[in-house]
Amino acid sequence: MRNKRILLGISGGIAAYKVAFLIRLFKKAGAEVKCIMTPASSDFISPLVVSTLSENPVAIEFWNKSTGEWTNHVDLALWADVFVLAPATANTISKMAQGQCDNLLLATFLSLKTQSIIAPAMDLDMYAHSTTKRNLEQLKADGVSIIPAEEGPLASGLIGTGRMAEPEIIFDFTMSFFESKEPKVLQGKRVLITAGPTYESIDPVRFIGNHSSGKMGYEIAENVLRKGAEVVLISGPTKLHLSHPNLKLISVFSAEEMLQSVQEEWNAAHIGIFAAAVADYRPMEKVDQKIKKSDDALTLQLVKNPDILHWAGTQKEKHQTLIGFALETNDAMAHAAQKLQKKNLDFIVVNTLEDEGAGFSTDTNKITLLDRNNKTQVFELKTKREVANDIIEYLITFIEQKS
Ligand code: CTP
């Protein structure tokens, strides 16, 4: 959302207080926010709060009575990359559906050239009323996106559907709007991604595993899907879900299963991104019965697992690009450089547990990219979603330069 211009409309309902949190989310994501309020909404949230959080003056009236200055609603409308109205009251929805413009917010809505997203909020009977439904249908037909109201306790004391969607939901919805406009630069590319941990069975109820959440690999998958790629995601056990028409999700348990799927899929892929935290060793014996406790100590003999990424590197064709990950605790760049050579990679994503917030089970990561010419690019600590984007933008430039 960096540098995106969000025009945030606020109409007069109790849910207006939640807009403070929404502005914070937009600002934190790097967006520019300008707010436009209906006169009634200032009874529910102070314009001072709104202007302080958005770091911009708030527009309420057509003209400022003390300075005599006119607020140019056309300029405001043209400035916006998206218009978000939260909360959208029954009254404002009705006026929008009919094209009325008796306040600045409505006049601005009529001047917009971009997408509008509205988050209705009202009492349950108002939300269920046939006229509100009709007005919402009209707005939908006019191209306005509607974030449905949620069910829960309402200001009237009643319980039902009418609560404004939570700020996080409105934020995600707005984010999806921007993402849907991303150019499909990876259209025609097939990307194989490994993600998550592998579990190595000890007996039918126990396994050796690790703390990998799978988040990094799934974020990469989402990112390349948005950019138009076809994705084969070979995932060890995780709690994550992803579905998309261009996604083939293959769920595996062990390193050997992951290797088998990679061997079936790698040949048809243009790009391989190996983010899985594969267990290096597995128990030598596969025991069919649960191991009963007996002696004070139990010795498990482990054998080395196949190196899946190394296998892909040996099979790599000229048109294919291969990316690995290295999680290190010391001498990160030296170890990563060795892996890059040994596994025949085009570049490697290095993260070190020496950096706070980097690694396995966190929501953030701090990476350095290292290529075959020993060139490095260092990135700040970011969310895994942002890190995924950095890796893929680097990859796109890499492929452009290669061809
Ligand atoms: N990898 C793999 N199969 C394995 C081990 C690792 O595909 N059996 C991949 C990982 O997905 C990652 C990269 O290889 O992209 C680096 O893995 P890592 O475990 O850090 O390196 P190793 O080569 O196993 O070396 P070490 O564990 O000794 O650091």
Q: Which amino acid is at 370?
A: L
pLDDT at 115: 97
Q: Where in the chain is the domain with CATH 3.40.50.10300?
A: 184-283+302-402
Closest of 349, 271, 262, 253 to residue 307, by C-alpha: 262
Q: How far out from the chain centre does Cα 115 lie? A: 20
Question: What are the angstrom distances between the C-alpha of 86 and each of 89, 211, 271?
Answer: 8, 39, 41
Q: SS3 for 74?
A: helix
Q: pLDDT grade, residue 64 (50/70/90)?
A: confident
Round to whole Å and give the CA distance between 261 and 196: 14
Q: pLDDT grade, residue 47 (50/70/90)?
A: very high
CATH assignment of 5-180, among 3.40.50.2300, 2.60.40.10, 3.30.70.260, 3.40.50.1950? 3.40.50.1950
| Residue to probe by mutation, ligand 1, list 309, 325, 338, most atoms within 8 Å of CB | 309
Q: pLDDT grade, residue 5 (50/70/90)?
A: very high
Atom of ligand 1 nearest to the CA of 349: 15
Q: Which amino acid is at 27?
A: K
Residue 301 has pLDDT above 80, yes or no: yes
In the chain, how many H helices and how many E strands?
13, 21
Give, for 206, the enclosing helix (H) or strand (E).
Answer: strand 206-208
pLDDT at 72: 85
pLDDT at 1: 82
The CATH classification number of 184-283+302-402 equals 3.40.50.10300
DSSP 305: P
Residue 361 has pLDDT above 70, yes or no: no
- pLDDT tens for residues 201-257? 999 999 999 999 999 999 999 999 999 999 999 999 999 998 888 999 999 999 999
pTM: 0.74
Residue nearest atom 23 of ligand 1, based on CA coordinates? 339
Atom of ligand 1 nearest to the CA of 312: 7
- How close is the Cα of 364 to the center of ligand 1, in Å? 20
Residue 360 has pLDDT above 70, yes or no: no
Q: Report the pocket of ligand 1 as residue ranges, CB < 6 Å.
A: 194, 255, 274, 276, 278, 280, 305, 307-309, 324-327, 339
Q: pLDDT grade, residue 359 (50/70/90)?
A: low
Q: Which residues are catalytic?
A: 210
Atom of ligand 1 nearest to the CA of 325: 15
Q: Where in the chain is the domain with CATH 3.40.50.1950?
A: 5-180
